[in-house]
């Protein structure tokens, strides 16, 4: 068991589905252990069966209720009648030479999202989505080009984790989760936390909370709520600009917020959690990569116990932004390092498979796609 599995405010509530699926079957992953035990009770089964089902799902990688041989046949049949285990279809499955794999999923409830498995040394990191589309409108990002359609449910968020887990050979475990796929996670906080609690739970995926990162555009009230309700996860704030004039252009939602309030909420999260957070800065050539920007950024973050993660832009077809030259990246880096900022320059992974989320969805036409059955995921 990994460390760091505290109780959260939400864990004590039982979590059932928000709505019944179109075909009137329920999504099993919308049920936490309490609501599953309640369902079992009404069916005349004993609640310890919930443990068996969860064990088969999270550790045993069951693909169907048939893969749960320790359950009585009648219960397996009843489960198949009432529940769907998978509510997505894998529309595309891409693999890059560096070991990165990406899935494009179509939900039966509607909409498509992307999720990614990254391999780096011993790390097996997954990047998951929280919404279909995104409402934040960051000008360089592919995910929000068509706005947001809907929030993903708890079950849909967990389903991404389980599908990616099943790409690993037996014996390999997921080690890290980043919520950096499509959508703004803090705009879907209830379902997200309920899903992440399962990722963290010892009888779930058993991933330490400090290895689970929520990346946000920076919505202060939601950051404060997170600090109050569940401050065990790692928080990353997408800054992308060192002043409001520029941030208003690159991250339009900033016009209603302002950098000062974002930093204040982030400071509160640090004070509540005692955990250093990360600021993300996507470097866009000739937009936010000048020496002046680096100086302003160093000033803004000086004294804050944070890590600055500078990410070279992953170009999106149809958008006018470019990756800066290695010379301007080096210059940017030197100024920040001289300014005493704890900075990290991240390598891009999975470039060849459009690994910046939102890109694969855009490059895949809705018609004429090869639909693979879930078992081939
Ligand atoms: N809405 C959240 C999480 C999703 S985006 C957020 O804003 O943080 C996760 C990170 O990827 C963000 O920092 C985002 O700015 C960055 N990103 C989006 N598109 C990118 C691209 N094409 N190249 C590099 N980084 C990108």
The CATH number of 26-84 is: 1.10.150.530
Nearby residues of 180 by Cβ (< 8 Å), 6 or more positions away: 127, 213, 215, 236, 357
Residue of 139, 238, 241, 346 to mutate, ligand 1, most atoms within 8 A of C-beta: 238
**Which atom of ligand 1 lies at the shortest distance from residue 358's CA?**
19
Least confident of 13-17, 31-35, 63-67, 212-216: 13-17
Q: Whose CA is nearest to atom 1 of ligand 1?
A: 184
Q: Kind and range of the H or E element at 91?
A: strand 88-95
Instruction: Indicate whether residue 141 lines ligand 1 (CB < 6 A).
Output: yes
Q: How far apart are CA 184 and CA 30, in angstroms?
A: 20
Query: Residues in the chain, how many?
Result: 377
Report the atom number in ligand 1 closest to the C-alpha of 236. 8
283 lines ligand 1 (CB under 6 A): no
- In terms of Cβ atoms closer than 10 Å to its own Cβ (0-12, 13-18, 19+), residue 372 is middle
pLDDT digits (tens, 9 = 90+) for 26-37: 999 999 999 999
CATH code linked to domain 87-353? 3.20.20.70
Residues of 163-188 as b/e, b for ≥16 C-beta within 10 angstroms?
bbbebbeeeeebbbbbbbbbbbbbbb
Q: Is the CB of 316 under 6 A from ligand 1?
A: yes
Catalytic residues: 114, 357
- For the chain, the first-to-last Cα distance in angstroms comes to 28
Q: Given a cut of 60, is residue 183 above it in pLDDT? A: yes
Q: CA-CA distance, 237 to 207, in Å (whole number)? A: 21
Residues of the chain with CATH 1.10.150.530: 26-84
pTM of the predicted model over 0.85: yes
Average confidence score pLDDT of the chain: 89
**Cα dist. 110→93, 121, 122, 213 in Å?**
19, 36, 35, 26
Output the CA 180–ligand 1 centroid distance in Å. Answer: 6
As given in the structure block, the two tokens for residue 234 are 């790692």
Start-end of CATH 3.20.20.70 domains in the chain:
87-353
- Mean pLDDT of the 74-80 span: 97
Q: What is the percentage of the chain residues whose pLDDT exceeds 90?
A: 83
Beta bridge partners of residue 277, listed in sequence order = 306
């Amino acid at each position: 068991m990994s460390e760091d599995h505290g109780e959260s405010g939400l864990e004590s509530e039982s979590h059932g589905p928000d709505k019944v699926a179109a075909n009137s079957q329920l999504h099993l992953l919308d049920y936490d252990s309490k609501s599953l035990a309640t369902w079992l009770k009404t069916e005349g089964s004993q609640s310890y069966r919930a443990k068996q089902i969860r064990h088969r799902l999270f550790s045993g990688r069951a693909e169907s209720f048939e893969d749960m041989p320790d359950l009585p046949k009648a219960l397996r049949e009843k489960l198949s009648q009432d529940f769907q285990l998978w509510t997505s279809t894998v529309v595309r499955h891409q693999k890059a030479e560096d070991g990165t794999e990406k899935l494009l999923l179509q939900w039966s409830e509607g909409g498509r999202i992307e999720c990614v498995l990254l391999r780096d040394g011993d790390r097996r990191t997954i990047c998951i989505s929280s919404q279909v589309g995104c409402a934040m409108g960051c000008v360089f990002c592919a995910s929000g080009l068509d706005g947001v359609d809907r929030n993903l449910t708890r079950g849909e968020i967990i389903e991404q984790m389980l599908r990616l887990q099943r790409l690993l050979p037996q014996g390999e475990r997921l080690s890290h989760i980043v919520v950096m796929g499509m959508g703004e996670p803090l705009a879907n906080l209830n379902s997200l936390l309920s899903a992440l609690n399962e990722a963290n739970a010892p009888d779930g995926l058993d991933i330490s909370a400090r290895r689970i990162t929520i990346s946000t555009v920076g919505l202060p009230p939601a950051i404060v709520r997170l600090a109050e309700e569940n401050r065990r996860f790692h928080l990353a704030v997408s800054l992308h600009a060192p002043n409001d004039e520029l941030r208003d252009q690159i991250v339009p939602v900033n016009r209603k917020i302002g950098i000062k309030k974002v930093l204040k909420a982030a400071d509160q999260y640090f004070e509540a959690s005692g955990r250093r957070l990360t600021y993300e800065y996507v470097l866009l050539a000739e937009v936010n990569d000048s020496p002046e920007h680096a100086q302003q950024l160093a000033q803004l973050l000086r004294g804050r116990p944070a890590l600055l993660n500078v990410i070279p832009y992953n170009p999106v077809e149809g958008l006018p932004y470019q990756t800066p030259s290695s010379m301007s990246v080096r210059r940017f880096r030197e100024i920040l390092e001289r300014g005493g900022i704890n900075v990290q320059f991240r390598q891009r992974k999975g470039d060849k498979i459009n690994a910046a989320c939102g890109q694969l969805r855009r490059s895949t036409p809705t018609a004429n796609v090869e639909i693979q059955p879930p078992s081939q995921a």
